Structure 1
Amino acid sequence: MLYDDAFLALLSDGVRRVLPEWGLPPDTPLRLLTVSENATYLAEPPSGTIALRVQRPGYNTEAAIRSELDWLAALRSDEVVRAAAPIPLERGGFLARFDAGGVEMLVAAFEFLPGAPPDEVGDLTAWFDQLGEMTGRMHHHARTWPKPQGFTRRTWDWEHCIGPEADWGDWRAGRDLDAAGLAVIGRAVDALRAETQAFGRSAQTWGLIHADMRPGNLIAHEDRLAVIDFDDCGWSWFMLDFAASVSLMECDPRYDAFLGNWLEGYRRATPLSAANEAMIPSFVMIRRIQLTAWAVSHAETPFGQRVDRAFAEDTVALAERYLTHHA
């Protein structure tokens, strides 16, 4: 378990030590906002709140983080989406570092956007129209944006999502999965490998995606959405972005409305082929199996602690449905 109380105490102390890198005194009011892949803190000086993201050690390289920030800067400067601006250090650059018990930690700071996640503001179903349009704009930008030299991000393909050496761990370790459930998901995993290999990768199906635009990484303010936390952005099938947006909502009775609104918004921003649309259920299945592994490898997080037998049962049911209709 990474984010136990002792390690979080080290992180809090380390964040305070690097606050002067952004011109803030070490005694600036500071509180832990959330723990997920990374630990995020809020510093609250009189000049305005900023978010400080402490990178999970070993997850993204320094070059990958710089590449993330390059894409974020391009999306903002090209006015593609509303997104939180990275805040540079006073000496230049965007990454501070500190030692936490012999582990080097990297910290990036971002403006704190007003608003709340869309699932806390009004009708989430209605927000999916705007989310689809925003996602379409991002995909169109990704196809045309000239990547800077040295740009590097992880790949979210079958191998890295749900293969034996997947980035988030082995789905077979998922809690509350019995032998029968493991067998069903295993058949789905094999079918998804064959299906994604046949689908292939082209300029219209594959590119740079956010990969985690679930409601918790969106900010609704007045009538507009903003997107935050590009930490998982990488190379994948474009439609995996929808799958990420419905994380943990795959069995929600509103799912069809989410999808219909998202597609309508997406097509206002950029064309979408029938072949891409037909693959969406497969990517939703990949994401769900991927989350099964994440809940184990990140067991100390709120999501990891929330996963229960019902999650496992729903995952098996989704795999059975996938095998019936799509394999």
Structure 2
Amino acid sequence: MLHIPAVHTVFHKEMLFEAMALLYDIGTPLKSQFVSNGLNDTYSVETNTGKFILRIYKHLWRAESDIRFELDLLTYLKNCILPVSYPIQRRDGEWLTELDAPEGTRYAVLFSYADGAGKLNVDTSQAYGSAIAQLHHAMDFYEPKHERFALDAAHLLDEPLRAMLPFLQHRPNDVAFVQETAGRLKARLAEAANGAYDWGVCHGDLHGWNVFHSDDGSMTHFDFDCCGVGWRSYDLSVYLWDRVHGRSDSESFEDECWDAFLEAYTKERPLSEQDLAMIPVFVAVRQLWLIGLHTGGSTVWGSWQDDGYFDGKLKFLAAWVKAHNL
């Protein structure tokens, strides 16, 4: 019999929540689902006391201190009476549960359930922009208690490039384009690292689908897995990036949802002209970060990053940097 090491484990959901019910005061599990295999594994469970979300962090994806930073931030935001999906402590007061997986130790965290659904239109974009301004304002006063990586040039550009370039070796023209573009973008980030730009704790993944809207107009923010200290203009740029990436001409880069989002945000929390000017730069940075994320995670998600994938991703990047003279 061959023994082949595993790189990623999917746990038996019923047995998983039987174990969680012994650790957390959640009642008796009635129905559970394996929701998604994303950056981490997400499970949902319905018990006789309510609904909950369990996230199991992938092996080596986040260090323990990184996770504790996220959980402490969410607890702080909850205490600020902001609508977030927050972590739930175990009966013994601990936040993390270590799981002995074949690939190594993995961390599990139980979260409150986010009611509502994803909804993206001009009205929700406006409400979301205002809500993110409030989130950033609260984060201005947060004092981290745990170490975590920064959303800086190393994280947003250097690490993604190391992951993606081996996938492009048969496309030398694209290697040159990516390296030249990344070099120009990195120079812009270096200029913005002088302390004069809005820098603070960020959500890191504000693409508009990490928030659920309810019929009464309320919303719940969730998935702070990409949070960290960084440029606030990067945080905002992710919303614009989600609206335009995949488009390939400058005329299609205008977007009313983005306009509504930014107008609502700046009405609550004004941004300097230099911070606003960095947003198109960060859209391009985000596109490279995404490619690096996909290629770097190929051992778990599969190597579906083929020529068609790169054709589409790099076509948008080329059109965007040309339209904005980056």
How much has 1:108 moved relative to structure 2?
Answer: 0.7
How much has 1:272 moved relative to structure 2?
Answer: 0.7
Provide the C-alpha distance between the structure 1 equivalents of 2:258 and 2:324, rounded to a whole number of angstroms: 17
Q: Does 1:196 align with 2:189?
A: yes
Match of 2:165 among 158, 163, 172: 172
| 1:158 counterpart residue number | 153
Provide the C-alpha distance between the structure 2 equivalents of 1:27 and 1:134, rounded to a whole number of angstroms: 33
Provide the C-alpha distance between the structure 2 equivalents of 1:99 and 1:214, rounded to a whole number of angstroms: 33
- 1:15-26 → structure 2 map (5 Å cutoff): 16-23=18-25
Match of 1:184 among 177, 181, 186: 177
8 Å contact kept, 1:136–1:267: yes
How much has 1:255 moved relative to structure 2?
Answer: 4.9
How much has 1:2 moved relative to structure 2?
Answer: 7.3
- 1:108-119 → structure 2 map (5 Å cutoff): 108-119=109-120
**Aligned alpha-carbon RMSD (Å):** 3.0
Moved more, 253-262 or 208-217: 253-262
**One-letter code of the match for 2:96?**
L
Classify 1:185/1:249 alpha carbon distance in 2 versus 1 (closer, same or farther; 3 Å).
farther
Provide the C-alpha distance between the structure 1 equivalents of 2:6 and 2:209, rounded to a whole number of angstroms: 21
3-state SS of the aligned residue for 1:108? strand
3-state SS of the aligned residue for 1:29? strand
| 2:233 counterpart residue number | 239
Query: Alpha-carbon deviations, 1:202-222, whole Å to 9, x = none?
Result: 364211100012233111112
| 1:69 counterpart residue number | 71
Provide the C-alpha distance between the structure 2 equivalents of 1:303 and 1:135, rounded to a whole number of angstroms: 34
| 1:38 counterpart residue number | 40
Provide the C-alpha distance between the structure 2 equivalents of 1:179 and 1:112, rounded to a whole number of angstroms: 47
Gapped regions of structure 2 (runs ≥ 5) = none
8 Å contact kept, 1:139–1:209: yes
8 Å contact kept, 1:248–1:288: no
Provide the C-alpha distance between the structure 1 equivalents of 2:90 and 2:229, rounded to a whole number of angstroms: 28
Query: Alpha-carbon deviations, 1:121-141, whole Å to 9, x = none?
Result: xx2x43222222222222222
Classify 1:220/1:181 alpha carbon distance in 2 versus 1 (closer, same or farther; 3 Å).
same
3-state SS of the aligned residue for 2:129? helix
| 2:224 counterpart residue number | 230
Query: Alpha-carbon deviations, 1:89-132, whole Å to 9, x = none?
Result: 1111211122112611211111112111124xxx2x43222222
Provide the C-alpha distance between the structure 2 equivalents of 1:311 and 1:127, rounded to a whole number of angstroms: 32
Aligned residues: 316
Provide the C-alpha distance between the structure 1 equivalents of 2:281 and 2:147, rounded to a whole number of angstroms: 26
Query: Alpha-carbon deviations, 1:241-274, whole Å to 9, x = none?
Result: 1232345532454753233112111112211111
Q: Does 1:216 align with 2:217?
A: no
Q: Does 1:130 align with 2:130?
A: no
User: Comparing both chains, which one has the higher relative contact order based on Cα–Cα distances under 8 Å and sequence gaps of 6 or more?
Assistant: 1
Provide the C-alpha distance between the structure 2 equivalents of 1:214 and 1:190, rounded to a whole number of angstroms: 25
Classify 1:11/1:299 alpha carbon distance in 2 versus 1 (closer, same or farther; 3 Å).
farther
3-state SS of the aligned residue for 1:67? helix
Moved more, 248-257 or 230-239: 248-257
| 2:92 counterpart residue number | 91
3-state SS of the aligned residue for 1:144? coil
Provide the C-alpha distance between the structure 2 equivalents of 1:265 and 1:21, rounded to a whole number of angstroms: 42
For normalisation by structure 1, the TM-score amounts to 0.85
Moved more, 243-252 or 207-216: 243-252
Query: Alpha-carbon deviations, 1:66-85, whole Å to 9, x = none?
Result: 22111112212113x31112
8 Å contact kept, 1:41–1:51: yes
How much has 1:177 moved relative to structure 2?
Answer: 8.0
3-state SS of the aligned residue for 1:23? coil
8 Å contact kept, 1:205–1:276: yes
Provide the C-alpha distance between the structure 2 equivalents of 1:301 and 1:255, rounded to a whole number of angstroms: 35
**One-letter code of the match for 1:61?**
A
8 Å contact kept, 1:217–1:227: yes
8 Å contact kept, 1:10–1:101: no
**One-letter code of the match for 2:205?**
D
Provide the C-alpha distance between the structure 1 equivalents of 2:287 and 2:42, rounded to a whole number of angstroms: 24
Provide the C-alpha distance between the structure 1 equivalents of 2:6 and 2:276, rounded to a whole number of angstroms: 38
How much has 1:12 moved relative to structure 2?
Answer: 6.9
**One-letter code of the match for 1:258?**
C
How much has 1:17 moved relative to structure 2?
Answer: 2.7
For normalisation by structure 2, the TM-score amounts to 0.85
Provide the C-alpha distance between the structure 2 equivalents of 1:17 and 1:85, rounded to a whole number of angstroms: 21
8 Å contact kept, 2:291–2:313: no
